[in-house]
Structure 1
Amino acid sequence: DHGTVEGSLKAMQLSRRIKVIPGQEIKTKQGEILVYGLEWDLPEGHDLRKTCQKVKRSGGYIVIPHPLDPTRFSVRKSLSQVLDLIDGIEIHNSRTPAPFNHYARKISARFGIPGFAGSDAHMLSEIGKAVSDAEGNPPFGKQVRIIKKQYSLLPRIGGFIYKLFHI
């Protein structure tokens, strides 16, 4: 959800078979970030680096969504300021034009930052168009550590859906 963790907290209460990770998309002064693992709302509109530092101090995880998409409120001009703080970068966003996803993959590889895929769903029909997947059911923090060790992006047969697999 944009600006709130409320939806994921409700999903956590209702879900029995699907692991739900609390998360929210936060708008900073320099662009949007995805925050996972915190069960409270972060204030929006603050400095990017300071917000990322607060997330890390609180035990959360940060993924940069649609990092190079010029049509979105991305952190593309400020990405270098937080490379040392982020846990991942979105290398496939189902709403982002392919060339920008391509360059996001290059940044991920160049700096050794784990790549994630996301639907960025704004409508029900968009849910699941791109997903990041981890084997088993480890806590989210462990999933991030697993993905940081080794990962690859593989297409799901028959569409534009991508999955992130641990090798």
Structure 2
Amino acid sequence: MNVIKSDFHIHSKYSPDSLLSIDSLIRRCIGKGLGLIAITDHNAIQGALEAREISPFPVIVGEEVTTADGELTGLFLKELVPRGLTAQETVKIIKAQGGLVSVPHPFDTFRRNVISESALSEIIMDVDIIEGFNARNTLNSANNKAKTLALEYSKPITSVTDSHTSYELGRCYTELSIDLSKDITPHALLESLGNAHLHENKVTPMIHIATTLTKLIK
């Protein structure tokens, strides 16, 4: 088994609010000692597919999907999940691909696209992972509430950077014990998350200004 640093919520230039190239992203992850990542661009998987081809460590193909009820993340995707569907419909499509459903930054009321609590309650039994710590969450209470929800429903949690810039990569991570000599499967990941250690380190809320400016530039 290998003990590695992992991050399951990273954006690249294929998100409208990031300028981070795939080459720069991978180099920065190597420099920060990350051994497993998921690239989860907004409504896009091209960046993850490109990264998987050049990365010396495993890259999970993910997508942060804009649903009609707020954002959900699909991991281990084979095809793009269309935006604009209900949360329940989105979950079905992710599961049909053999993917995992992760809930990004639940309860962060400062974000426009956070999933509604009513929609979350409807899909919670089909959720595989909850972000217990998101470095971009403005208030600690949002992370604490996410952890409480995960505990209530016995869902594994992750610590993620939600990186949109190279500065954010590696600042927090989920420490896993996992066998890298084999392909990383959804089952293997869920099993390893059961004994994961979260390393938490928030970024300044000012980081959101950078992503807002990026949207305007692009």
Scaled by the length of structure 1, the TM-score of the pair is 0.86
Match of 2:23 in 1: none
Aligned residues: 156
Question: Distance in 2 between the 1:15 and 1:57 partners?
Answer: 27
Q: Contact 1:52–1:62 (CA<8 Å) still a contact in 2?
A: yes
Q: How does 1:150-161 map to 2 (within 5 A)?
A: 150-155=194-199, 160=201
Gaps of 5+ in 1: 162-167
Q: Which residue of 1 aligns with 2:58?
A: 19
Aligned-partner Cα distance in 2 for 1:52–1:152: 24
SS for the counterpart of 1:56 is: helix
* Identical-residue share of aligned pairs (%): 26
Using the TM superposition, give the Cα deviation of residue 152 of structure 1 relative to its aligned residue in structure 2, in angstroms: 4.9
Check the 8 A contact 1:9/1:39 in 2, yes or no.
no
Contact 2:159 2:172 in 1 (8 A): yes
In 2, Cα distance between equivalents of 1:110 and 1:60: 23
**Contact map agreement 1:114 1:147 (CA 8 A) in 2:** no
Q: CA RMSD in A?
A: 1.7
Structure with a larger share of its residues in helix? 2
For normalisation by structure 2, the TM-score amounts to: 0.67
Supply the AA of the counterpart residue of 1:110: E
Work out the CA distance in 1 between the residues paired with 2:68 and 2:120: 13
Higher RCO (Cα < 8 Å, 6 or more apart) = 2
**Which residue number in structure 2 is paired with residue 140 of structure 1?**
185
Structure 2 residue aligned with 1:165: none
1:116 counterpart residue number: 158
**Other-structure match for 1:7:** 47
Aligned to 2:171: 129
| 2:105 is the counterpart of 1:66 | yes
Indicate conservation of the 8 Å contact 2:175/2:198, yes or no: no
Tell me the distance in 2 between the aligned counterparts of 1:133 and 1:39: 25
CA distance in 1, matches of 2:81, 2:199: 34
